[in-house]
Amino acid sequence: MHPKFYEKEKPVPPEEYVRVDHESLRSWVSKVFQALGLRRDYADIVADNLVAADLMGISSHGVQRIRRYVGGIKVGSINVNPDIRIVRDMGAAVLLDGDNGPGQVVGTKAMNIAIERAKRYGVGVVGVRRSHHYGIAGYYALMAVEHGMIGVSLTNARSLVAYVGTLSKYLGTNPIAVAAPRRNPPPFLFDAATSTVPVGKVEIYAKTGRSVPHGWAVSLEDGRELTGDAAPILEAIRKGRAALLPLGGLAEETGGHKGSGLALIVELLAGVLTGAAWAIHVRNTTDPQPANVGHFFMSINIEAFMSLEEFYDRFEKMIEEIKSLPKHPQADRIWIPGEKAWLTMETRKKIGIPLHRNVFNDLKKLSEELGLDFTVKVLKETA
Q: Residues 121 to 150: which contact its own copies by CB under 8 A?
A: 121-125, 127, 150
- The residue from 16, 261, 308, 362 that contacts its own copies (CB under 8 A) is 261
Binding residues among 140-199 for its own copies as defined by CB under 8 A: 150, 162-168, 170, 176, 178, 180, 188, 190, 192, 196-197
Of 248, 79, 42, the residue nearest 165 (C-alpha):
248
| 186 vs 352 by CB, closer to its own copies | 186
State in angstroms the smallest separation of the CB of 305 from its own copies.
5
> From the CB of residue 264, how many other CB atoms can be counted at a distance below 10 Å?
22
Q: Which residues of 62-87 are buried (b: 16+ CB within 10 A; e: fewer)?
A: bbbbbbebbebbeeebbbbebebeee
Listed in sequence order, the residues at least 6 apart from 128 whose beta carbon sits closer than 8 Å to its beta carbon are 95, 96, 97, 98, 106, 107, 110, 270, 274, 276, 294, 295, 296, 297
Alpha-carbon distance of 30 to 20, in angstroms, equals 16
| 226 vs 353 by CB, closer to its own copies | 226
Binding residues among 321-380 for its own copies as defined by CB under 8 A: 321-322, 325-337
Of 100, 97, 42, the residue nearest 283 (C-alpha):
100
- The residue from 75, 251, 308, 372 that contacts its own copies (CB under 8 A) is 251
State in angstroms the smallest separation of the CB of 113 from its own copies.
12
N- to C-terminal Cα separation, the chain: 24
| 232 vs 261 by CB, closer to its own copies | 261
State in angstroms the smallest separation of the CB of 169 from its own copies.
10
Stretch (H or E) spanning 216: strand 211-219
- The residue from 67, 68, 147, 258 that contacts its own copies (CB under 8 A) is 258
Under the criterion CB under 8 A, does residue 204 sit at the interface with its own copies? no
State in angstroms the smallest separation of the CB of 268 from its own copies.
6
Of 196, 198, 172, 142, the residue nearest 265 (C-alpha):
172
| 329 vs 371 by CB, closer to its own copies | 329
State in angstroms the smallest separation of the CB of 276 from its own copies.
10
State in angstroms the smallest separation of the CB of 344 from its own copies.
15
State in angstroms the smallest separation of the CB of 116 from its own copies.
13
Alpha-carbon distance of 24 to 44, in angstroms, equals 12
The answer to whether the beta carbons of residues 330 and 146 sit under 8 Å apart is no
| 5 vs 305 by CB, closer to its own copies | 305
- The residue from 72, 151, 187, 215 that contacts its own copies (CB under 8 A) is 215
State in angstroms the smallest separation of the CB of 230 from its own copies.
12
Under the criterion CB under 8 A, does residue 253 sit at the interface with its own copies? yes
| 190 vs 374 by CB, closer to its own copies | 190
State in angstroms the smallest separation of the CB of 339 from its own copies.
11
With CB under 8 A as the rule, give the number of residues binding its own copies. 92
Alpha-carbon distance of 241 to 151, in angstroms, equals 37
Listed in sequence order, the residues at least 6 apart from 162 whose beta carbon sits closer than 8 Å to its beta carbon are 168, 169, 170, 171, 218, 220, 243, 244, 245, 246, 250, 260
DSSP notation for 251-320? SGGGTHHHHHHHHHHHIIIIIITTT---GGGPPPTTSSS---EEEEEEEEEGGGTS-HHHHHHHHHHHHH
| 47 vs 154 by CB, closer to its own copies | 154
Binding residues among 28-87 for its own copies as defined by CB under 8 A: none
Binding residues among 103-122 for its own copies as defined by CB under 8 A: 117-118, 120-122
Under the criterion CB under 8 A, does residue 306 sit at the interface with its own copies? yes
Alpha-carbon distance of 284 to 100, in angstroms, equals 13
- The residue from 13, 185, 213, 288 that contacts its own copies (CB under 8 A) is 213
Residue 297 CA, chain-centre distance (Å), reads: 14
